[in-house]
Amino acid sequence: MDASQVQFECALEAGELDALSGLVAEVVPVGSQPRPVPFTAPLLLFARLDGSLRRRLFADHPGRVLVQEQLLIECRRAPKAGEPIQLSAEVPAGLDTASLIEISGRLTTSDGETIVVVRVGLRHIAGAAIDHLAGFALERLVKGETTQSVRCGPISDGLIARYVKFAGDDNSLHRTKEAIVPGAFLAALAEPLAAAVSGTHLRRMSIRFIAPIRAGESFDVVMQPRSRTPAQIELRLLYASATRGVAAIADLVLSEGTDIAEAVR
C-alpha cells in the first residue's frame, strides 16, 4: 500500500512529560520514581502530525470503529525535554479499509542518530463487534508458572479524557461514557511495573491488544519472567480483565545497568 511520508522537527515539552507521569501514577500502585522521560512519551509527538492527516486517520466511518492492534517501541535513549528531534513517519495513503493500517515513525537527533523507532497497527472493525471481543483465559497463558500480579485501576472517564486531550487522540472510542482505555496509555503502565526488576531500563516493548478495557474496570497485570542474560531481561506482562480475560500482552526487553545507550551499543 502506498504511504505518505511525513517529516518535521519537534520536541517533547516538560509539561506533557509531567502530565503523562502523573496520569500513570494515578493508576499503577508502584512506589518507584518516574523517569524524567517516560518510555512511551515519543507517542505524544504524533499529536504534531498535520491536522488534515489526523482528521483522515480518525474520520468517522458509519458502522465502523478504529481499534489499535499492535504497538512496538524500541528506544536507544530517551529524548530530553526540549531537545530538537526530527520525526519521520510513514502513514498509508488508504486509511478506510478493513486491512491493517501500519504507521511507522523514527526519531532522529540533530546529528543524525536514530534514538527511537515506533510502529503502530490499527484496523477498522464493525462497531457492533467491539464489545464481543474476548481475550485469552489467564490460566491458559500462565500454566502454573510463578508470577507476580499487580492490581491496576479502575481508570476513570475523566482520566481518559485528560490523556486523550494532551495526547491528541481523536478516536471517538475514547471520548464516550465508559470509554475504551487507549492502547498507548495501557502501554505507558508497563514501565513502572517493569521497574520492579531492580537495576534495569526498558529498551523494547512489543504489545498486542486483543480485547478492550473500559473506563471503570479494574484489571490485574501479571508479570512473567521469560529469560535473563548478563546483558538483558525479557519480561511478559499480561493485562487481565475479570470480564474479558487477558486483553493485552506486552513483551518487554530490559537492559541491565543504568544507561540504555551504553547497554545497546
The pLDDT value recorded for residue 197 is 66
The residue segments making up the domain with residue 48 are: 3-264
**Which DSSP symbol is given to 67?**
E
Sheet containing 101-108, strands listed edge to edge, beginning at the edge strand earlier in sequence: 3-10, 85-92, 101-108, 114-126, 64-75, 200-209, 245-256, 232-241, 219-228, 148-152
Residue closest to 255 by CA, chosen among 15, 8, 39 = 39
Question: Above 60 in pLDDT, residue 259?
Answer: no
Strands 85-92 and 148-152: unpaired
169-211 per-position pLDDT tens digit: 888 899 888 899 999 999 999 998 888 666 678 999 999 999 9
Q: Which of these ranges, 4-8, 96-100, 211-215, 243-247, has the smallest mean pLDDT?
A: 96-100
Question: Above 70 in pLDDT, residue 102?
Answer: yes
C-alpha angle with apex 183: 145 to 208, nearest 5 degrees?
45
**Residue 31 confidence class, pLDDT cut points 50, 70, 90:** low
**Residue 2 confidence class, pLDDT cut points 50, 70, 90:** low
Model confidence pTM above 0.75? yes
Question: Above 50 in pLDDT, residue 264?
Answer: no
Question: Above 70 in pLDDT, residue 254?
Answer: yes
Rounded to 5 degrees, φ, ψ at 37 are: -125, 105
Secondary structure (3-state) at 200: strand
| More confident site: 77 or 96 | 77
Whole-number Å distance between alpha carbons of 170 and 151? 28
Q: Give me the number of domains the chain comprises.
A: 1
CATH number where 56 lies: 3.10.129.10
pLDDT average, residue stretch 54-78: 88
The pLDDT value recorded for residue 94 is 67
Question: Above 60 in pLDDT, residue 32?
Answer: no
Q: How buried is 19 (Cβ within 10 angstroms: 0-12 exposed, 13-18 middle, 19+ buried)?
A: middle
Rounded to 5 degrees, φ, ψ at 23 are: -65, -40
Whole-number Å distance between alpha carbons of 122 and 6? 18
230-252 per-position pLDDT tens digit: 888 999 999 999 888 999 999 99
The pLDDT value recorded for residue 30 is 62
Cell numbers for 157, please give them.
472517564
Question: Above 70 in pLDDT, residue 97?
Answer: no
110-146 per-position pLDDT tens digit: 999 999 999 999 999 998 899 899 999 998 888 766 6
